[in-house]
Amino acid sequence: MNTCNNISNIIFFIIVFLPITFFAQDNGLFTISYKAFVNGSDAGPEMHKTVMAGYFSATSGSATSEIAYIPEKPVEKEYIDYSKKIIKQLANLSDGTSIFYETDFNSLPVLEMTGENDTILGYACSKAITTLRSNKIEIWFTKELKVTGTPAYAYGVPEGLVLRIRRNNNWELSATQITGTIPKQAIIIPENPGLKMDAKNYRHRITQNYVKRINIFNDEQICWGSKKKNPEFPAVDSVFRYAGGTVILKKIKLPYVTNDYQVFAEVTQYSNGDAYDRTGTIFMINDENKLTMVTALNEGIDKVPFFTGRNGKKYEGMIADDDFVPAVELMRFFTSFGIGHFNDKVQVVDKSWQPKSYFKQEITEMLPFIKGEVWIGAFIGNYDAGGHKLSLDLVYYPGSQTIEENIPQTSQIIPLFNTLNFMEMAGQNYGTFFDKDSLEVSFEIADTSKDYFLRYITTGHGGWENGDEFVQKTNSIFLNDKLVFKYIPWRTDCMNFREFNPSSGNFWNGLSSSDYSRSGWCPGSVTVPNYIEIGKLKRGKHMIRIAIPQGQDEGSSFSAWCVSGVLIGK
């Protein structure tokens, strides 16, 4: 038996990566502070918490006028019961729910003694090693204090007090200070710790406690010929339908968050009758000081500015000017061929159709724009009475577990252009002007201290053999008539989405229509934005020009390009 025998029944309370405090019922405290290092460098300050009577009491962050949401930090407690050889992980969630799970010592990594020794904080330590998911783990522990405990039980529980853990020789957690007195009595684990669950579901509940999920649309139908009557304009949190039901729009209040957050747009979609691959977009409008596409949706496409191409056609609501701001595209996606509705109508050897399409894309760079009261819309182009069903969430993930101050959002967003004609079914023209014109947009810079880049989304359309959907075309971007970037948007991975496309046509040669490479998109996929470095800009007027060698019409078939761009300054 080791030197811990005389307190072998002590149960220890552990906070992973935070100071560990051992308690007695007479309020004696025994505290060990740890500090993390990466490649020998300090990985951040020690975190200090208040512990009383065996329970962890977190200091809650204070809100400011600029923070509408602060993550509700779950209160977690870990107990190691050496007599029963189990670890109990407990948590109190922000909604009042208490949950826990148990880990048996037998499921932990087996420690192997090396015979090596070291002195840490004046205490003689022995070294043990193990591996965990291909990671090399080294643990130093002492028996001189006659106390047993560890700040990270997942690496194994030695019979002593762990003062240092090293992982892969580049990450280390080391004790920096030991204070207080060794407790004389054990801490008592709560008799009713809450709802028992497995580790997987426990950890999911913990992480989701930090996540802020804003539901925008929930299984909303996007179709042609909708008869649903719109609510009284401009009601908040109500769904409006425009362009025959192919556009849905909602005014919603989004949280103000600090700039260490990451935010994602999360879309699920399935066919409610439409068999074809369709262009889809998630867009936002939030500048009520200027004319926007909200006016076009409510009053008609002729209410917003237009330009006339050399082909004589009008192109409405596509470029910014002094009085008008186009819709800002957050995500572009493409529906697959008939997912959901046609799953039981088509059978193909070795293919199991997915029930719905799932699109998730990070839009963190747009965070300064997506806050407060805004309009968010979704469009899927189709002329089908059943159409599609769509759900949309914005999901916010905090960058730290504590917020001590408001970190200002210093980025600047300047909407420039959006030729994706989401009001197609209300008369808005396709972007067919590139055959004879370039797209030119002027903008003004007041802040010369920022580095600017263009967030650029582009896809080519024209779904026949010689249409730009299936022909590689160079996109060239000019700033003040100087070429800054050119490339060919082309997707060669469309075969990866075959199981999302039940009604895609199957050809004699073994390929399906959804397999074919395309100009920047695939049926059932998200189009990834390009981030084009612009650099610092002088104060005053500038001009961006987009040039694409659009293909010629053939009979009633025509090519078009959907391009959108915002300038972001950091």
183 with 240, same domain: the answer is: no
Residue 103: its pLDDT value, please? 92
Q: Report the distance separating Cα 566 and Cα 545, nearest Å.
A: 13
Residue 71: its pLDDT value, please? 57
Report the predicted TM-score, pTM, of the whole model to 2 decimal places: 0.84
Task: Identify the domain boundary among 207, 224, 250.
Answer: 207
507 with 370, same domain: the answer is: yes
Report the DSSP beta bridge partners of residue 375: 251, 285
> Tokens 């839009």 label which residue?
363
Region 517-528 average pLDDT: 98
Q: What is the pLDDT of residues 184-201, one digit of tens each?
A: 555 567 777 899 999 999
Q: Which CATH number do you get for residue 489?
A: 2.60.120.1570
Residue 537, both tokens: 């800009």
Write the DSSP symbol of residue 162.
Answer: E
Is pLDDT above 90 for 547?
Answer: yes
Task: Identify the domain boundary among 207, 235, 269.
Answer: 207
pLDDT, the chain, mean: 86
Q: Which of 64-78, 91-105, 154-168, 229-243 has the lowest mean pLDDT?
A: 64-78
Contact by Cβ (8 Å): 38, 21: no
Report the DSSP beta bridge partners of residue 281: 332, 379
Q: Which of 3-7, 137-141, 191-195, 531-535 has the lowest mean pLDDT?
A: 3-7
295 with 167, same domain: the answer is: no
Is pLDDT above 50 for 33?
Answer: yes
260 with 184, same domain: the answer is: no
Region 239-266 average pLDDT: 94
Is pLDDT above 80 for 256?
Answer: yes
Range of the domain at 40: 5-207
Region 66-87 average pLDDT: 70
DSSP letters spanning 114-151: EEEEEEETTEEEEEEEEEETTEEEEEEEESTT---B-S
Is pLDDT above 90 for 159?
Answer: no
Region 230-239 average pLDDT: 95
Task: Identify the domain boundary among 165, 190, 207.
Answer: 207
Region 537-552 average pLDDT: 97
Report the DSSP beta bridge partners of residue 11: 81
289 with 390, same domain: the answer is: yes
Q: Report the distance separating Cα 291 and Cα 435, nearest Å.
A: 29
Q: Report the distance separating Cα 91 and Cα 99, nearest Å.
A: 5
261 with 202, same domain: the answer is: no
245 with 281, same domain: the answer is: yes
User: How confident is residue 49, by pLDDT bands cut at 50, 70 and 90?
Assistant: very low
Among positive and negative, which fits the CA dihedral 144, 146, 147, 150?
Answer: positive
202 with 244, same domain: the answer is: no
362 with 266, same domain: the answer is: yes
A 10 A CB-CB count for 463 gives 14
177 with 202, same domain: the answer is: yes
Write the DSSP symbol of residue 203.
Answer: H
Is pLDDT above 50 for 10?
Answer: no
Region 251-273 average pLDDT: 93
Q: What angle do CA 442, 447, 449 make, to 5 degrees?
A: 125
pLDDT > 90 fraction of the chain, expressed in percent and rounded: 68
Contact by Cβ (8 Å): 143, 7: no
Residue 95: its pLDDT value, please? 83
Residue 79: its pLDDT value, please? 80
Domain count, the chain: 2
320 with 442, same domain: the answer is: yes
Residue 362: its pLDDT value, please? 97
Write the DSSP symbol of residue 424.
Answer: G
Q: What is the pLDDT of residues 343-357, one digit of tens each?
A: 999 899 989 999 999
Residue 27, both tokens: 């309020």
291 with 418, same domain: the answer is: yes
Residue 46: its pLDDT value, please? 53
